[in-house]
Chain A
């Protein structure tokens, strides 16, 4: 395996040497912006008409084209915007802004001339703008980027209604979730029904599932890069959205008249608990014994200041909190249970274009994720009987630096380093009161990460493209030091004027954190723990091969990709663990390590867009397995979300100027599940099921259709109003959330009461529980 990786890298580096063509080039640099807000556009295309040389803007909207001769025309395009063709006559290095007008139509680009984006850029990467995310019908009208990503090739959602992502057989903790460069540890609101990413605050979401660039590390399966809007630099805007679960308020605008500083503020809060307000009043009055409440809120703030066209500083702050409370009160006893969890992040991001050909990005970030459970019992006189606190937290301080150095015709070197200090408090409980149990907090664990990376990216005029590099990660753990040399290579060839491409890639990744999860549902009390001697850092190695084709005007694209991924050092809770034991135990005594994982599959996708229609079909054929010594006698067994077939069809159609129709259909092989294979009497003469091993059976297949209609209206005060109506699971398919099996006793018909208590036989059956069957929704949005 290692030899093949080295061979791959060698081929890549030879290709680099062969392809680099160092002439005296002209450098065209600049930023592609929204013409109305001045906001930089991420992932916009810019190409020369006569040379077929192109570039894609980075997370700051920045691009650079290095050309051997001045082009006559330059074309810029971006999803949801009218493309623009610029006449260009200058023969010197130039820096300029390109402004694109938002399009009213669904069609992402108005095609002009030979303008095109390169097909190879789409392989292994999914990039979604906020406009694309909004077009997909949403559960209860709550637009969610993570749910939309689950409809793309190679990505599967977890349980029904949950926002956790399983990318190419990886678990949700193996996704590096970055919000403006800051790691987010738990993306779940309301126990996973919503993700923490407020759709109003999002400018762009990019998911990388293969050929990872060398600057990314610390997770095994994917990179999900969420970029927040910078805010309109010209005008103030507000947007109010009212939905069934939550409402949102979004504000943006310039801070200074010069338009150099802008702000973006987005807030969101749920009001599920308002439904139970009468119950709360009754509880306070003493006419009701119990009461429950569930709240969530989040806020995003971003301030951006452009010192010059070349230097920009941005401060992003994010706070997301959830709270669930359960209260019980009788005359003699009172209990109060509360569970709080949340993320807090802050990032200071400096970007600078230095000299002719360097682009520097420096991010200083902080994050904190914690959960806190408090279970308090009081007697009738309000004296504390017991107070049990269970909590865990993880926090990072990190500094990431990247320098991109352009070197000639469409080639650049990128290098940098990452320093990260992580503090992990896995799980600690304290108890006071009548029955004190003092569980001492386990010593705080630290993971200090120092990583350096170097990469070379080349896109030659003859169609070859290479992104070759490595990342060296050094993890200073509490008890040991681990280091990983992580080669990364992505290379391929484009032909047919950039409309066809083939790509191969290999990536090694490492992860010094484990997530102890009792399910794939992203519950807030899943616990992050640091790797150590017994449970070393996880690592993965992934190979992939892909081909893509697009027609000349890019209205149709399709691709086929195949991959193989292996994972080492997975950990999992011991089989058969009593759930109620978990909070009071040292985690190391609850888990088994040295687990292996493997996943391989084929992903097919077809994208189609016209002026009125936009949509895609994504199909994944895959197999994902796990192997842990104490499970299933150390044999390979299916991962819970191993789905052989996964099909998603998504589309939206502009019916007329006012109405838009959206629909998506999903089909998935049923998740793996553990079911009994026999029943018999046990030693106490009770009937009992016999289990063979973990995930020995399958749930019924999952499928559903969602439909939404959106009406857009401009009011007399020139405010844009959107009404959305729709239905999730329109044909009411009873998709199983889980399968269960039950045993029942057959009792004798006997006049003697106690004789009736002794069963004479039993019966057993299987049943399924389904949620979210035919869920209609309505939402309202006003922009002003």
Chain B
């Protein structure tokens, strides 16, 4: 809170006194590496995307030029069974129908490429879902910073003590024709058994919360979100969402740290904070192999 306000002041000063200019910065030792972005879950199965890295500060880069489509991709289950994935499109590799992800099973990913070498991931386990309770939503008379109506909703959560899950909450406004992720301002976690606040961080429309918030006790998550009117197309009317959804994604600690490290300080935050090296659980390249489980709650927007 205090930092945010300090940053605002500095921002103000920079606006008055600051001058910006582009500069060239060249890292001579850059070498392109293979990047693996893979996820496994009961709900969505196994998806592996392969690409390559590029030097920063360079020319425009098109995704299609980064995709790696000619690699050998395999996943090895805990029991030793090996499944070879097939390139589907745009650098995405999928298993055949014989592969069924299972809970509490370890999986390792292996990738071989003639130019970029070999990648092997650490083993990952699909976490168990363990939270369920009702969502209570109430409309408030408060407006957001965008002068939109705010809706507050409360989720009662129960986390068994023996799990070590980390959580990602994704909020969406559901409209008639399209769903939009939304931000959840003024959010906090109320845990009656804890005297200290829970640490969380936000990334786009997601909130990430650590396991230490729960400690096996029931907690209540309270969020204020905008009822964002949607602009569909030029000339069309604005529409209101009919429903809202909260998706709870259960992550491992490594995946949680991956998302944390992905959050890069922006603008004048650099004077106060350093970015992290991106967390990776693969050897021989860059990227992440994430296992997750998700649950979704949908509820009517109160009128």
Task: Say yes or no for B79: interface residue by CB 8 A criterion.
Answer: no
Nearest CB in chain B to that of A392: its residue: B2
User: In the complex, which residues of chain A have a beta carbon less than 8 angstroms from the beta carbon of B186?
Assistant: 435
16 CB-based A-B contacts, threshold 8 Å: A294-B9, A326-B9, A435-B188, A518-B273, A576-B276, A584-B196, A677-B56, A680-B66, A688-B262, A691-B278, A738-B268, A741-B56, A760-B63, A763-B61, A769-B19, A770-B18
Closest 6 pairs (CB-CB, A-B): A576-B276, A761-B62, A680-B53, A584-B197, A579-B3, A683-B37
- Apart from A525-B2, A585-B199, A681-B35: 18 A-B pairs, beta carbons within 8 A: A576-B260, A576-B275, A578-B199, A583-B3, A584-B197, A676-B56, A678-B53, A683-B39, A690-B286, A691-B276, A739-B23, A741-B57, A761-B60, A761-B61, A761-B62, A765-B57, A770-B20, A773-B17
Count of A-B contacts judged by CB separation below 8 Å: 249
Interfacial residues of chain A within 86-128, with CB under 8 A of chain B in the complex? none
- Please determine whether B61 and A337 come into contact, CB atoms closer than 8 angstroms: no
A-side interface residues toward B, CB under 8 Å? 159, 191, 292, 294, 324, 326, 330, 332-333, 337, 339, 373, 375, 379-380, 385, 388, 390, 435, 437-440, 518-519, 521, 523, 525, 575-586, 673-683, 685, 687-695, 697, 700, 734, 737-741, 746, 753-754, 759-773
Q: Would you give the 0/1 interface string for B46-65, flagging 1 where the beta carbon is closer than 8 Å to chain A?
A: 00010111111111111111
- Please determine whether B288 and A737 come into contact, CB atoms closer than 8 angstroms: no
A158 to chain B, nearest CB (A): 10
- Please determine whether A769 and B188 come into contact, CB atoms closer than 8 angstroms: no
A708 to chain B, nearest CB (A): 20
B-side interface residues toward A, CB under 8 Å? 1-10, 12-14, 17-25, 27, 30, 33, 35, 37-39, 49, 51-66, 141-143, 147, 178, 186, 188, 190, 195-197, 199-201, 222, 232-234, 258, 260-278, 286-288, 290
User: In the complex, which residues of chain A have a beta carbon less than 8 angstroms from the beta carbon of B199?
Assistant: 578, 581, 585
What is the CA–CA distance of A771 and B271 in the complex, to the nearest angstrom? 13
User: In the complex, which residues of chain B have a beta carbon less than 8 angstroms from the beta carbon of A674?
Assistant: 274-275
- Please determine whether A677 and B30 come into contact, CB atoms closer than 8 angstroms: yes
User: In the complex, which residues of chain B have a beta carbon less than 8 angstroms from the beta carbon of A678?
Assistant: 30, 33, 53-56, 286
Contacts known (A388-B1, A438-B195, A586-B196); A690 close to B49, Cβ less than 8 A: no
What is the CA–CA distance of A333 and B278 in the complex, to the nearest angstrom? 39
User: In the complex, which residues of chain A have a beta carbon less than 8 angstroms from the beta carbon of B12?
Assistant: 292
B72 to chain A, nearest CB (A): 20
- Please determine whether B273 and A771 come into contact, CB atoms closer than 8 angstroms: no
Partner of B23, one of A439, A679, A693, A766: A766
User: In the complex, which residues of chain A have a beta carbon less than 8 angstroms from the beta carbon of B233?
Assistant: 753
Contacts known (A740-B270, A760-B63, A769-B20); A324 close to B9, Cβ less than 8 A: yes
User: In the complex, which residues of chain A have a beta carbon less than 8 angstroms from the beta carbon of B6?
Assistant: 191, 339, 523, 525
What is the CA–CA distance of A770 and B271 in the complex, to the nearest angstrom? 12
- Please determine whether B56 and A770 come into contact, CB atoms closer than 8 angstroms: no
User: In the complex, which residues of chain A have a beta carbon less than 8 angstroms from the beta carbon of B9?
Assistant: 191, 292, 294, 324, 326
What is the CA–CA distance of A521 and B271 in the complex, to the nearest angstrom? 8
B281 to chain A, nearest CB (A): 12
Nearest CB in chain B to that of A773: its residue: B19
What is the CA–CA distance of A525 and B6 in the complex, to the nearest angstrom? 9
A614 to chain B, nearest CB (A): 31
- Please determine whether A738 and B23 come into contact, CB atoms closer than 8 angstroms: no
- Please determine whether A763 and B59 come into contact, CB atoms closer than 8 angstroms: yes
- Please determine whether B54 and A768 come into contact, CB atoms closer than 8 angstroms: no
- Please determine whether B276 and A575 come into contact, CB atoms closer than 8 angstroms: yes
A140 to chain B, nearest CB (A): 11
